[in-house]
Chains A and B, each alone.
Chain A
Amino acid sequence: MANIEIEGKIFDVDGDGFLSAPETWNEEVASLFARYDGIPELSDKHWAIVRIIRRNFIEKGMAPMIRTICQETGIKLREIYELFPLGPARGACRVAGLPKPDGCV
């Protein structure tokens, strides 16, 4: 357990900077985490991705497949990698307040 401070607010996170208590996530957390990663402002496309990830997590307890994200948001695969330079896991899932997925990510 660690914590990070972003713009005066302190968050409990794991060593990789993923929110320790996913239920405490809100839109302000998303904006702050994104800024911490160098995304100054979340666009409509960012939000669409974050909301799908969030919804899947609440319904199924895990991050969605990238296919689900692309098909439900209509955003092209390569564009998702551009929107979140750290990728769907360390980038988008972290901004969406999920725990770090298992595996090589």
Chain B
Amino acid sequence: MEKLSEIQIRQGLSVFTNLTDNKLLTHLNSCVHCGLCAESCLYFLKTRDDRFTPAHKADIVSSVYRRYNTVTGRLFPKLVNAREMNMDTASEMVDLLFGACTMCGRCTMHCSIGVDIGFLVKTGRSMLSNMGLVPATLQSTIKAALESGNNMSIPVDELTSTLQWMEEELTDEVNNPEARIPVNEPGKNILYTLNPREPKFFPLSISAMAKIFFAARESWTLSTRMYDVTNYAYFTGNPGESKLIAARLWQEMDTLKAGKLVLAECGHGSRALRWESPNYMKAHFPFKVETSVETIARYLHQGRIRLDPEKIRKTVTLHDPCNLVRNGGIINEQRYILKRFIASFVEMTPNGADNFCCGGGGGQLAMSEYNDRRMKIAEIKADQIRKTGARIVVTPCHNCVDQLTQINVTYKLGIQVKTLAEIVADALILE
């Protein structure tokens, strides 16, 4: 195995010294090793392998911190279980922090003393990113976003043709030429975003949201220059790349002079843009921002859209995307929406802020290296869904949709997976 260069090591360790506050040091030094976090983690629950306990994942980061940043760690490393940063340590960090964590944050919520374990995992990922050790499959998605403007390298003309196609389908469906998908129009109330997988492979969610905007008589637009709601650099904890990606939507809001940025159904994208990007940009938002889940709930609350309670007859359950729900606090809006028109709505156990991750978070879907592990831990979600007896699983996150689709085939659940906009659009009452 190759050796790490001096520069790599220095860049990796820089996360411990380039600090703007003492949050990291507090959390690195606080774990009391009670072990309660183990039962919160999908990887531990499915494997019973002690290496996969969240405390162990956090400890590998703090053991490197101790080695270089404490007196006892420098003089007597063995005494305080301090680890040198070398290829062995780095490889183990890659395996545990990228390969065995969906950054779902459930351990953080269950920690007996409030250690932000997710933050420590992300710090470890930052170290690996600084050292150029991000799994290639994940880094290539970031590269695509940085170089082409979207994480699937969709050319603008292909996007435009797809949007025109979806507009024609929508116009036909509602039989009204005013049901449009406006593009690059300045001065609108809303600039809406997309996950690139929508135009590339799953465009029904685009026409669904356009139908909702039409029903609500909203003034909105998409941008073909910059529309990608994802930010995969969030998963690698690389602040420079995260900022470059987030800054483009900030810039597009300014260019189009839109009133509000509405984020497509994307857990990590919402987190990176709505809750993290002011930190990347070191500035307050110069515009309003909300997730489309909140937008739809608002339309319903204001009476701008109406839903037919007779339309969806099947039993429906809801999967809570970790970044949106546990980490973002958008817990009630999707329930408010579904309960307004779904006759048979059943919750999973547990749900809401205590939900189990689908297993595809934290960039796992992009990292082929860990596919087997990902589908193994997914059995927990498969069991949860099976117990509800639901035939439709709704989730406001395209990444979760893909993982749930794979779970459906692997564990033979016989369900349909839909985004929130899709199931709402199916039941819209158009005047």
Contacts and interface: CB of A to CB of B under 8 A. Distances in A.
Contact of B202 (A16, A62, A87): A87
Contacts of B165: 67, 71
A85 B415 CA distance: 11
A90 interface: yes
A105 B201 contact: yes
B162 to A, nearest CB: 5
A102 B204 contact: no
Contact of B368 (A16, A38, A71, A88): A16
A60 B197 CA distance: 18
Interface in A15-39: 15-18, 37-38
Interface string B183-206: 000000000000111011111100
B366 interface: yes
A102 B371 contact: no
Contacts of B162: 65-67
A65 B162 CA distance: 8
Interface size class on chain A is: 20 to 34
A86 interface: yes
Nearest to A13: B368
A74 interface: no
B132 to A, nearest CB: 19
Interface in A43-87: 62-63, 65-68, 71, 77-78, 85-87
B25 interface: no
Interface string B209-244: 000000000000000000000100000000000000
Interface string B334-375: 000000000000000000000000000000011111111000
Contacts of A98: none
Given A18-B368, A102-B144, A103-B196, A65 B154 contact: yes
Interface residues of B, number: 38
Nearest to A68: B158
B200 A87 contact: no
Contacts of B140: 102
A16 B371 contact: yes
Contacts of B81: none
Interface in B116-175: 137, 140-141, 144, 151-154, 158, 161-162, 165
A81 to B, nearest CB: 8
Nearest to A66: B201
**Most chain A CB atoms below 10 A, which of B162, B200, B204, B368:** B200
B152 A102 contact: yes
B201 A100 contact: no
B367 to A, nearest CB: 8
Contacts of B144: 102-103
B153 A104 contact: no
A30 B57 CA distance: 40
A15 B366 contact: no
Contacts of B294: none
B399 A104 contact: yes
Contact of B366 (A17, A37, A78, A102): A102
A93 B202 CA distance: 14
B398 interface: yes
A66 B366 contact: no
B409 interface: yes
B84 interface: no
A35 B168 CA distance: 36
Given A67-B161, A103-B151, A14 B204 contact: no
Interface of A: 14-18, 37-38, 62-63, 65-68, 71, 77-78, 85-90, 100-105
Given A85-B408, A103-B195, 16 more contacts: A67-B158, A67-B161, A67-B162, A77-B204, A87-B201, A89-B201, A102-B140, A102-B366, A104-B151, A104-B195, A104-B196, A104-B197, A104-B266, A104-B365, A104-B398, A105-B200
29 contacts: A15-B369, A15-B370, A15-B371, A37-B409, A65-B154, A65-B161, A65-B162, A65-B199, A66-B162, A68-B158, A85-B409, A87-B201, A87-B402, A88-B202, A100-B137, A100-B368, A101-B200, A102-B137, A102-B144, A102-B153, A102-B366, A103-B195, A103-B366, A104-B195, A104-B197, A105-B197, A105-B200, A105-B201, A105-B402
